[in-house]
Each structure stands twice: as C-alpha cells, then as structure tokens.
C-alpha cells in the first residue's frame, strides 16, 4: 500500500497525517506531496520524517491511494493524472462533488454506493458531513420534508491565515486579512463567494451536497452560513420537518445508535455540544433536541463537529479505510 497525501504541509494535510497514524492505517510507503516550492520540506509521520515531493514525482511513484487537500484547481488538474496510473483519489475540495460521474461519500451514511471502479471520490463539505450524519438515521425513520440550517463556522475552515488573522486582531497586531472585515468580536454572514441568487457558494454546497448524499433530489432545504471567531469546530442550528411525526425519546435513541454520533443533551446540567469540546475529536455531537412548537412534525437540533477532522481529514481517511476493507482499493 502506497499512500500519497497531497497538500501534506497544509492544515488539513497535517490533520490527515495525524489521523492516519492514530487509526493505524496500514501502509508500506507514505508519499507526502505539495507544490514545487515546498519540495524538500520535511513532515513527520509515526515518529519518522519524510521529504515532501512534487506532484509529478508522486505520480511517477504510482500510489494506490491519494488523499487530496490542495484546493479545487489542483484537484481538477492532477486528480485525473493520478487516476491514470491506477490510483484512487479521495478529494477534499469541491472540484468533483457535484459531478454526476463521481460519488460524494460519508461512509456511515452512503458508503454502500462505492464500487471498485470509483477512482476519484469526493469528500463532502465540512458542514454538510456533520449535518447528514445526524439527519440520515432520522430520514430512514421519519422521512425528511424540509431542512433549515444556520451554521456557526470556525475560522479554521479558511485555513491557517484566517486563524492568524483572528489571533492577530485579538493581540492588536498587524496581520494579513483573509476576510473583508474583522473577525474577532464579530460574525460574518459570508462564507465563500456570493452567487447570483444571493446565496454564498458555501450555502449552495450544503443544499446540493445534502440532496446528493441522502439521495433526495427534491429535498426542500435552505442554508445560511456564518463565520464566527472560534477555532474548535463548526456548529449548526438545524430545523427539520419530517413527513411523519416523531417521538423525541426515539429520536435520541436513533442518534445515540448511529456510529460516529454522540448525543449530548442535558440542559439541566448545561450539557450541550460546543466546539471547544469537539476540538480534536472525530465524533459529531448532537444536542438541544426539542420539538418545534410552531410547526407539526418539526424538530430543532444543534450539531457540532471538528471541521478539520470529521469535517475533512477523518472522513477522507474513513473513505480510504472503506475502500481497503471492502477490497475496492486494488
């Protein structure tokens, strides 16, 4: 097993390396990959140091699996070249997510759609992953009718420079601005570019990707995505209307039984999901479960996850594990 990590020097790439080690992913050769300007840099993995190689060098090594975390334009250019040498590409960017010919996968939800001829597999948007993991078991039981989601997303979703901007502002230092406005002591209802319909790309990602992953092309869903000055993970307020009525105790039971989900829902003891507690963890935390008293068959829920882990790196590694465990990787 030769495994390449493309974008190995970035925030998500570093998290991928950490998670591969934590989960004891069996590999014979690690190939850390980055842009030409990073060639020769050293990354650490399992107590050893590895030199970063270029894309072209990595392709020549013919890896079995490549986990890409290097942006959409890089994925569009190089993923097909890795595919040509027999490599499975698991891509963290938005490049392939809505392509009809490529699978968009959260293993616990729709891993069953993967086949041996899937060579480029898309990893969903971070906010989408945590939401669909909680929605999927409820859809099976009660059938989704409509979803309204508002997100509270960590600056880590914008990369290291965004974290630097937040911390620089907090320390009253001059730093390069990633956002069009200050982020410390502020919230920005603006993630990614604005589209002609007034939604941002991030909001449309959540809408379109949720429909694709759950296989509900006509799902009524709307989204507002907001950047907040937090670093531990993304939070979401989700209002869900079902076609069938639900029992709140059964909802808690279904979520608690879902692999990768932890129910944290005891308001009496101030127990509910928060990004500060989700940081560094792979699970999706769900709480503030309550009936929406203004509409029939409608549930309010609060969903939190570490966006660099389950929202990106962990999910990508889990896809690689799924391909290996189901003999789809060779």
Read off the tokens for 150.
Answer: 């508002």
* DSSP per-residue codes, 56-115: HHHHHT--SEEEE-S-HHHHHHHHHHHHHTT-EEEE-SSTTTT-TTS-B--HHHHGGG--
Pairing of strands 298-305, 234-242: antiparallel
Question: Does residue 121 contact residue 90 with C-beta atoms inside 8 Å?
Answer: yes
Query: Would you call 142 helix, strand, or coil by DSSP?
Result: helix
d(CA 110, CA 116): 15
* Catalytic residue chosen out of the listed positions 87, 126, 139, 279: 126
* Residue 126 among the catalytic residues: yes
Catalytic position from the list 87, 102, 225, 234: 234
Distance CA 149, CA 145 (A): 13
- Cα 115 to Cα 28, 64, 79, 82, 322: the distances in Å are 24, 15, 18, 18, 11
- Is the alpha carbon torsion for 120, 214, 216, 154 positive or negative? negative
Q: Is-contact 232 276, C-beta < 8 A?
A: yes
Distance in angstroms (rounded) separating the CA atoms of residues 237 and 224: 10
Q: Is 143 left (phi over 0), alpha (psi -120 to 50) or beta?
A: left
Catalytic residues: 126, 234
């Amino acid at each position: 097993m030769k495994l390449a990590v493309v974008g190995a020097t970035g925030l998500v790439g570093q998290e991928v390396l950490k998670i591969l080690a934590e989960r004891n992913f069996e590999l014979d050769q690690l190939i850390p990959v980055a842009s030409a300007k990073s060639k020769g840099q050293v990354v650490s993995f399992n107590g050893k140091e590895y030199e970063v190689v270029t894309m072209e060098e990595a392709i020549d090594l013919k890896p079995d699996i490549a986990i890409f975390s290097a942006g959409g334009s890089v994925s569009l250019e190089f993923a097909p070249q890795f595919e040509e040498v027999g490599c499975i590409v698991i891509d963290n960017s938005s490049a392939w997510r809505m392509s009809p010919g490529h699978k968009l996968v959260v293993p616990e939800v729709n891993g069953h759609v993967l086949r041996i001829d899937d060579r480029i597999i898309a990893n969903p948007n971070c906010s989408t992953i945590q939401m669909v993991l909680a929605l999927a078991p409820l859809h099976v039981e009660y059938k989704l009718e409509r979803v309204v989601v508002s997100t509270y997303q960590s600056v880590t979703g914008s990369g290291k420079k965004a974290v630097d901007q937040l911390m620089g502002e907090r320390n009253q230092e001059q730093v390069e601005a990633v956002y069009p406005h200050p982020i410390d002591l502020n919230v920005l209802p603006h993630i990614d570019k604005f589209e002609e319909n007034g939604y941002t790309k991030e909001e449309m990602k959540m809408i379109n990707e949720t429909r694709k992953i759950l296989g509900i092309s006509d799902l009524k869903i709307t989204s507002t995505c907001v950047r907040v000055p937090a670093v531990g993970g993304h939070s979401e307020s989700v209002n869900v209307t079902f076609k069938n009525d639900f029992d709140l105790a059964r909802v808690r039971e279904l979520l608690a039984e879902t692999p990768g989900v932890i129910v944290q829902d005891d308001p009496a003891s101030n127990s509910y999901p928060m990004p500060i507690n989700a940081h560094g963890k792979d699970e999706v935390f769900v709480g503030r479960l309550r009936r929406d008293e203004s509409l029939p068959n409608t549930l309010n829920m609060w969903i939190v996850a570490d966006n660099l882990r389950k929202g990106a790196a962990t999910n990508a590694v889990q896809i690689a594990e799924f391909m290996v465990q189901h003999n789809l990787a060779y």
